[in-house]
Amino acid sequence: MELILLLILLGILLAMGVPVAFSLGISSLVVFTVLAIPPIVPFQRMAAGMNVFALMAIPFFVFAGELMARTGIAERLIRVADFAFGRVRGGLGQVDVGASMLFGAVSGSAVASVSAMGSTLIPMMKEKGYHADYAVNVTVTAAILGILIPPSHNMIIYAAASPVSISVGDLFLAGIIPGVLAGAALMFVAWVVAVKRGYPRGEFPGWSPFLKALISAIPGLITALIIVFGIILGIFTPTESSAIAVAYTILIGVVLYKTLNWSVFMEAAASAVKTTAMVMMIIATASMFGWLFALLEGPQALANGLSSISDNKTVILLIILLILLILGAFMDMAPLIIIMTPIFLPVVMELGIDPVHFGIIMLLNLSIGLVTPPVGAILFVGCAVGGVKPEEVIKTIWPFYLALFTVLLLVTFIPALSLWLPGL
């Protein structure tokens, strides 16, 4: 009875438009009161949820992403992508995806990517005659590539929420091929739509300007190499790597690019503090909700329900994909990772699915939710930047959804796409 009350309250609050963190907290506190559990317990669970050393990497990675978006790294990556892909029909769409892949490999943040890429490329595309809905469609769907291409703070959240030990380095490696595959699929769709709408193609400026742009962008790209290989080789932990990323970004912003001054630094710090506070609040209330959900035997009930439907691995996986897609359309990514990982991971492990593989499945699945209404945080940020109504974008975004769903199915049912690199 209490479990049903918990879920109904959460659903009502979310439907009323209450922020996710408060919806999770209020519904949990009501059920804690009904169960007559001492008031100190929910706050202990919130504190325990945030008191995880690995989560210290989140504010550093967020701060690094904010600094990169403000110190010219994004513009340099856009220039490289423009020279590489601009001569294709609808080349700015290809540039958007390519630059988002490069920026995702540096910042690991979908929000930072849609802000950095969107503020530059959406106006540029509109000026060149591209429709606003196309510009936003490409930008928001490409922004989620940063969740898969390392480094990604969502991978750290998944590793922290997992009931079994998972290497963050393995997760970083596992996300590379699916991320590149998703980027290639989005590039193909962007090209098809561009050809259909008759968008222009750019011109290749020559090898000399291309090499100069590439050399100028290399210092920013080195950030990702330092983080990923430093973790894989055991030189430092994910938390240490995030601090090194901040220090390195400050160094190249001040010494090399000379674009980082005190006011830019404070803007980035303020934005990072705001984002981190939101993420940690969600993590805290999601941890409390998840503990209560486990206490009420919700995971067992869900597992029993899945097994009662079918014992076929494919059917169960498709059901889990559908559940995550639906939940991802209504809730933010961080709380869903924290709540659903302890629920679904034991189920899929019994089916013989590797925890690293399932992590990539979950991250790709939930990242699609970031561009899916009614919540769709990245979708609405992109619409705001592009000055276009969400309903106009939703009408024409379906080819990009189709590309992402296709990659999701490939990643789900071809484990080697995720596990080949970690297995080397």
334-363: per-residue pLDDT in tens? 888 888 898 899 889 988 999 999 999 999
Quick check: 408 and 364 in contact, CB under 8 A? yes
What percentage of the chain has pLDDT greater than the value 90? 24
- Residue 339 in contact with residue 289, Cβ under 8 Å? yes
φ/ψ of 59, rounded to 5, equals: -60, -35
Q: CA–CA separation, 293 vs 110, rounded Å?
A: 29
One-letter amino acid for residue 211 of the chain = L
Over residues 32-37, mean pLDDT = 91
User: CA angle 317-320-325, nearest 5°?
Assistant: 125
Cα gap 20→10, rounded to integer Å:
9
Q: How far apart are the first and last CA of the chain?
A: 49
Q: Which of 71-75, 85-89, 262-266 has the lowest mean pLDDT?
A: 85-89
| Position 420 confidence tier, pLDDT thresholds 50, 70, 90 | very high
At a CB cut-off of 8 Å and minimum separation 6, what does 243 contact? 60
Which of the two residues, 105 and 325, has the higher pLDDT score? 325
* Whether pLDDT at 17 is above 70: yes
Cα–Cα distance between 423 and 387 in angstroms, integer?
45
Res 56 pLDDT > 90:
no
8 Å CB contact between 230 and 244: yes
Alpha-carbon distance of 310 to 314, in angstroms, equals: 9
What is the per-residue pLDDT across 124-177, written as a single tens digit (0 to 9) for each? Answer: 788 778 888 999 999 999 988 988 988 788 898 899 888 898 988 899 999 999
Q: Does the structure show a pLDDT above 90 at 24?
A: no
Residue 110 in tokens: 């979908």
Mean pLDDT within 7-35: 87
At residue 376's C-alpha, the angle toward residues 375 and 377, to 5°, is 100
Per-residue model confidence as pLDDT tens digits over 178-212: 999 999 999 999 999 998 988 877 677 777 888 88
Query: Cα–Cα distance between 226 and 223 in angstroms, integer?
Result: 5
Per-residue confidence (pLDDT) for residue 105, from 0 to 100? 66
Average pLDDT estimate for 46-65: 80
211, 91 contact by CB (below 8 A): no
Is 88's pLDDT higher than 80?
no
CA–CA gap between residue 352 and residue 126 (Å, rounded): 48
b/e per residue, 319-348, with b = 16+ CB within 10 A? ebbebbbebbbbbbbbbbbbbbbbbbbebb
Mean pLDDT of 76-81: 78
* Contact yes or no for 92/202 (Cβ under 8 A): yes
The answer to whether 365 touches 321, Cβ cutoff 8 Å, is: yes
Cβ 150 vs Cβ 172: under 8 Å? yes
* Residue 106, pLDDT score: 66
**CB-based contact 283:161 (threshold 8 Å):** no
What are the φ and ψ backbone dihedral angles of 89, each rounded to 5 degrees? -55, 130
pTM: 0.82
